[in-house]
A and B are shown apart, each in its own frame.
Chain A
Amino acid sequence: MSTLHLLFFLLVIAYLGGFLVGGRGTRSGGLPSGSEWLVLGYLLGPAALGTLGGQDIATLTPVAIVAIGWVALLAGLTYGTDGARRVPPGRIVLGASVALLPGAAVAATTWIVLARFPGASAVVPGAHDRLVAALGTGAVLSGTTHRAVAWAVSRLGARGALTELVGDVSQAGAIVPVLAAEAIIGADRSRGVAAMPGAGIGLGALLGLLTALLLGREMRKPWLWALLFGVSLFATGVAEQLDVSTVAALFSLGLFAALASPLRGAIRQLPAELEGAIVFPLLFIAGARVSLPGVAVLWATGAALAARIAGSLAGGFLVSLAAPAARREGPALGLALAAAGPLQVTVATAFRIRYPGPAGELIVLAAAAAAVAGEFIGPPALRRALRRAGELPASPPAAAGESAAEVIP
């Protein structure tokens, strides 16, 4: 496929994405996590049909990096909020803890499989690569996607205390993969660049405050667009050059800009207009980057998914202990938190680009598998839990996008 065909194809996906995602990030069609685009990318990619070659994917790397930055920026801008409502600090702590459980379980399991099973060790031979693979897989398999909750709200008309709780917990968990990416990439010196842990967060915070300062108090839409585009591209490029986590830098940029600017409502809403046009091509590119470095890696991926389910069940148990609204559900609520979405796939793609070897391949494979498996586990479990809690209406709302569902990648 020529670069021109590829570019056209991506623009078509972006075009369709723009139609499928409403102005506030709610889906009017397709699967809750958008995994169909991931699968399409895989099918057309070098590992399956080969319509897209390795060179095509390399050509797309800058596009993928920019898309990764934009998704992370959106996540940062909306972090800690649900529409106009602020997520209470207690729930942010609970959500981060719940996300940490599957992440830790996955990292430990992956490390054990890679270290102890000769077949897996042969695919990821170096200790450094193994560590990156284990921690990276843990990072991308931590947390859940808020999209599943947004989907339940917009498509099924879910309303109530449990819906709000699950929404808050899933939203708050987004910080775990971001911080993990910052820690892993920032501390890595394998490229000969000095380790700068925390530099991505610092860069993002500085540029976020600068953005808020430049935005001022008066809403000027063209200026807002230029500023957000410019500062996000600048931060992305600088983070890449310094070899710090782009995801962390842009997340931090969004978070600080939203915290410091009096126009936080507008800067949360406007960039979301481009969400579908950016997320779906990114999922497609991520799918095309999925490959299988060795059959043994399938075992590692399977073990990681199992650990994720176990960690999620533990997380569900923790939520049911901490929040009265979830007490009746118990650990089973964890299954409702097992969906993985664009943010997880975005972080995985960032790892895949940063670590082009088997470690990156394992991470993106695990994220893709979790996203696809999550479509079958998360939304049905969530629906069951919400139905039991009496938070689903008898008939779903007719129009998607009318709801107040939050914009969460």
Chain B
Amino acid sequence: MGDLSEKHRSHSYYEANARQRIAALLDPGSFEELIGPAERCTSPHLDQLGLPCAFDDGIVIGRGRLSGSEILLASQEGGFMGGAVGEVHGAKLTGLLELALTEQPVAVVLLMESGGVRLHEANAGLLAISEILRALLSVRAAGIPVIGLIGGAFGCFGGMGIVARCCDTLIATEEGRLGLSGPDVIETTMGVEEFDASDRALVWRTVGGKHRYLLGEVDYLVNDDMAALRAAILQVHDESIPLTLESLEQEHQLLSRRIEDYGHCDDALDIWQKMGLAEPHILPLLAIQDFLEAVANRKPTDL
């Protein structure tokens, strides 16, 4: 595929599409796409349902360089069916992760933007998620770091939310959202009294990047700026975090502590208050740098 010219480079990750993100984050001209659109490896299911396909099934995978380091990278396209994982989409991501085991890149970088499983493809999508998870854990076990990045308009939910939390390091912007059930799913299944998905402020302070950072689920909170995100990936791209039984047990203890400490809270604001943050209501309004300073002295969530 041709490289996108300079004028198509966007400074905002949020506003960019999957291909523009790759062009902006990697070393210029270094990206080599695998199973590109010209191969027409499209969904076998959508056509039968009378729905249009995408030539790349909503995900771009390939090799590239980051400040000279060889990496493998995947970028999900939120604009196509909300970045949802269908059979081909999932197989491409699984294949990329399995390729890492033979190619031994410095890192695998996942630009995640997905509502989760593509429900039109039902079981094929669900199976894809478990295959992705198994492949991702194999890559981590081989000592190759998997870096996740969340900052697109569609967030990262469902099965991809699980994939995100299995990465070595997770980078997000304030605009990035992370969760299992998305706001609309919660409202539909539990009622608007439980969660009002049209309340944007509520949505952002519940699943948004700032809250996920405060809870320790996101490791780095970065401005919605390509250069800042590239710098953040560069900073951690060679850090493999060993996944051991001990670290898993510690994580479980941490989660038990979290439900003890915050399980009765009705709102993220209550949680931030309990973290010892003096003015929780102003946190959503702060620019990233001010926010990071304001929360630097919160009660640690580590054990």
**Real binding pair:** no
Residues of B within 8 A of A (CB): none
A positions within 8 Å CB-CB of B: none
